[in-house]
Chain A
Amino acid sequence: MTIDLAQFLPTFLEESYEGLETMETGLLNLQSSEDDSIHSIFRAAHSIKGGAGTFGFTQVTNFTHLVETLLDEMRDGRRDIIQSDIEILLQSVDCIRLLIEADRNESVCEDESINNVQILLNESLKSANTQTINESEDTNDSKSTNQQSWLIDFIPQPHLVQTGNDPIFLFNALADLGELRIICNTSELPVFSDIEPKELYLKWQIQLSTLSSTEKDIREVFEWVEDECILDITLLGTEAAVDKEQDLKSAPVASEPALDIKAAKEETTRTSLTDNDKPQTSAKTKPDVGSIRVGVDKVDILINLVGELVITQSMLSELGNDFDLSKLEKLTSGLDQLLQNTKELQESVMRIRMLPISFAFNRFPRLIHDLSIKTGKEIELVIKGEQTELDKTVMEQIGDPLVHLVRNAVDHGIESKEVRIANGKSPKGKISLDAYHMGGSIVIEINDDGGGINRQAVLNKAIEKGVVEPNSTLTDSQVFDLIFEPGFSTANEVTDISGRGVGMDVVKKNIQSLGGRIQVASEPGKGSSFKVNLPLTLAILDGQLVRVGTEVYIIPLISIVESLQTKTDLINRVSGNMLLYRLREDNVPVLPIYQLFNLEADNIEIDNSLLVVVESDGQKVGLMVDDLLAQQQVVIKSLKDNYQQVDGISGATILGDGSVAMILDIPGMISMALAQAQVAQKTAHNNIEEVV
């Protein structure tokens, strides 16, 4: 019977990566062998090694074995837990990660770190007196193809059955090796009244005729009871045994076992190859399908909801069988119920994709640890709100931007120890990560208590790069926003951590492509704060449907500030054919959608028209529309995947009547509008100040 274990490879991989994370966090917090975490670290390494062996991940097995040995000594208190060992172990975690990848692709990992760390591990292991157990293999193990007859004397100790062993099963197993003749010796059996029911009084003599089994094979059957019995195995005779023995004596003794080993090796590599074939191909054909762990409670809720949906459906279809107007009320209530069910179902399904943000946060302790060694700065990391849930796809894409922000905070934010002390701060810098929900979005804050952003340096750099006019007056936040400009870095020297100036613009672009935004605040001497706003999910959007001419557009509800009917006396016409609408103390540029998309609208005059005021990045714009329609949740379909990117449009959706509606890209539209308005706005400012 062949059993294909390939299907368990994904489970093993998932578990191993989890195990590595456990090891990493454990190691970072490890102080002494009293610590409980040493046990979980050891267990993780142990499981990885065990699983790796099964799947033929030999590089992983061999490497992890060293790690496990070291951890075992720490766990037993035979070895003091010292920082240098923890460093080596942390590096080993990285190595195991590489090796798992390599073994999975059936390649040899050539990363030099593997060798280096392996040497370190070995040195560390040697440095303490450890006893290595050398198990001597049975050498009197000659394989034979001749029929052999063995005599086995099996005298169990009386308590043998109390450990769950039963001679009858041992004989069954022996029967697989060849033909058996069993003689039971009952001479020790006491009189019935003296029998102790839990004791064994019998002994056996077994004659085994076998073609291929060796003494080792026989001993293996008795492996679990060898300490609880007297076992004598003698070779009764071999047909053609004389020849055999002569062969053995005349030929080099070592040759045969050596051959054996080789054959066995060949066999194992062959089987491991076939074993690995399947996961290989499947891993290659569909990369990164990924899987998520979902709590049983979430699944239970889904099942309940589906149950309710089925009930509603059957109610409605019954209603439809012989429908007349008297049942209209029932129909409406049924449809309401359907709406409710669908909504709940949708929410629950979305929740399945939600993961706690700790998945993105948990790499930071290690990152900070490594960076603080590299930079020589002492840094404390505080993580809050790691249970805040976020859509998996958003999570996957936010990881790298966050790493970049944290690296920046360490490198540029936190000052060196000397500077901190000189400035009267604690020598230990502090970086905090915080995540929380706000409305329909999630906010991630990265704060540091470092020196803050040097306003003048940023400004100088911007002027030097020609981004800003030399004499322009900018607010603090406008200046700080300049760090998101491409090719911008104020670090005097480029370090290998950050400072190459390829980053902040990419960070901002990545966050914007997720439909989020990033803000920065900073106070000289006190530190900087980066605030990342992200939508909870990318798949569904709460939208306001608006009509322009014959077209329906969707404006994301989250970006709408208010909708209003314009009043003539609040409209300012400024030069450059630009309209400004006075909204309390703001002047909002008006953007007629019909102009932007070249449509025929019902209403092309701004007087008494409908204005939807939207906001992005702190900038408000009034969108002129013909009509406000319903508000509803829409499923976002990518325009890029199905057609191509269009300026001012972020995607499309299909409405209830089957027609396609475009979703407006508010930040994109605002920057379009601002580009038009830039000249006009300056003059407008002056005008208004005169009026006021």
Chain B
Amino acid sequence: MAKFLIVDDSNSIRQMVSFTLKSAGFDVVEASDGVEGLEKAKGDQFDLVISDVNMPNMNGIELCQELRKLPPFEFTPILMLTTESSGDMKMRGKAAGATGWLVKPFNPEKLLATIKRVVR
């Protein structure tokens, strides 16, 4: 069963993403900021990481850069959750090694459809 890491400081968004993925039969681990996310990533293997961009302590872009430095996460899909669909945000995400982005508002059906592009 595929296992996902969800990193978001907003409790409601995190719960919703997590709930959606769990109802689709995925395994989900949650973290509330980049630091916690990185910590959880180090002790585990994940098939996909979904992270918010704006977070305290360590933001999503930094988390992405850190994750890419870890050998097990070299090719792991990392998706950024963002409200901004501006090109600038995408560029920054790409530069940090992000696989793609999910634009809020969060929509469960769309989430499940889009993550198909990166996981089985």
Select which of A52, A133, A162 is within 8 A of B87 by beta carbon: A133
**Which 5 interchain pairs have the tightest Cβ spacing?**
A53-B105, A224-B100, A164-B99, A164-B77, A12-B12
Complex CA distance for A422 and B83, rounded to whole angstroms: 55
Select which of A46, A51, A52, A227 is within 8 A of B54 by beta carbon: A46
Known: A46-B83, A176-B116. A51 touches B10 (CB 8 A): yes
* B117→A224 contact, CB < 8 A: yes
Assess whether A296 is interfacial by the CB under 8 Å rule: no
Binary interface encoding of chain B residues 74-88 relative to chain A, with 1 for a CB under 8 A from any of its CBs, else 0:
111110000101111
Assess whether A161 is interfacial by the CB under 8 Å rule: yes
Assess whether A49 is interfacial by the CB under 8 Å rule: yes
Binds B, one of A167-175, A379-387, A395-403: A167-175
Assess whether B119 is interfacial by the CB under 8 Å rule: yes
Binary interface encoding of chain A residues 3-25 relative to chain B, with 1 for a CB under 8 A from any of its CBs, else 0:
10101100110010000000000
* A163→B99 contact, CB < 8 A: yes
Assess whether A562 is interfacial by the CB under 8 Å rule: no
Binding site for A on B (CB under 8 A): 9-13, 15-16, 19-20, 23-24, 54-56, 74-78, 83, 85-88, 94, 97-101, 104-109, 112-114, 116-120
* A162→B75 contact, CB < 8 A: yes
Chain A neighbourhood of B77, CB < 8 A: 164-166
Assess whether A50 is interfacial by the CB under 8 Å rule: yes
- Smallest CB–CB gap between A244 and chain B, Å? 27
Complex CA distance for A54 and B15, rounded to whole angstroms: 13
Complex CA distance for A166 and B76, rounded to whole angstroms: 10
* A43→B56 contact, CB < 8 A: yes
* A5→B16 contact, CB < 8 A: yes
- Smallest CB–CB gap between B107 and chain A, Å? 7
Assess whether A240 is interfacial by the CB under 8 Å rule: no
* A173→B109 contact, CB < 8 A: no
Complex CA distance for A519 and B106, rounded to whole angstroms: 53
Chain A neighbourhood of B105, CB < 8 A: 50, 52-54, 61
Main secondary structure of the interface of B (DSSP, over half): loop
Assess whether A188 is interfacial by the CB under 8 Å rule: no
* B116→A173 contact, CB < 8 A: yes
Select which of A2, A47, A53, A173 is within 8 A of B117 by beta carbon: A173
Chain A neighbourhood of B13, CB < 8 A: 47, 50-51, 54
- Smallest CB–CB gap between A223 and chain B, Å? 7
- Smallest CB–CB gap between B109 and chain A, Å? 7
* B109→A3 contact, CB < 8 A: yes
Chain B neighbourhood of A50, CB < 8 A: 10, 13, 83, 104-106
Name 29 interchain pairs, CB-CB below 8 A, sorted by A. A1-B23, A1-B24, A5-B16, A5-B108, A7-B19, A8-B16, A8-B19, A43-B55, A47-B10, A47-B54, A50-B10, A50-B105, A51-B12, A54-B12, A54-B104, A54-B105, A135-B85, A164-B77, A164-B78, A164-B97, A165-B99, A165-B100, A165-B117, A165-B118, A166-B75, A169-B119, A173-B117, A198-B74, A223-B100
Chain A neighbourhood of B85, CB < 8 A: 135
- Smallest CB–CB gap between B120 and chain A, Å? 7
Select which of B12, B83, B94 is within 8 A of A11 by beta carbon: B12
* A164→B76 contact, CB < 8 A: yes
For A227, the closest partner residue in chain B by CB is B94
Complex CA distance for A228 and B91, rounded to whole angstroms: 12
Chain B neighbourhood of A7, CB < 8 A: 19
Select which of A11, A54, A176 is within 8 A of B107 by beta carbon: A54
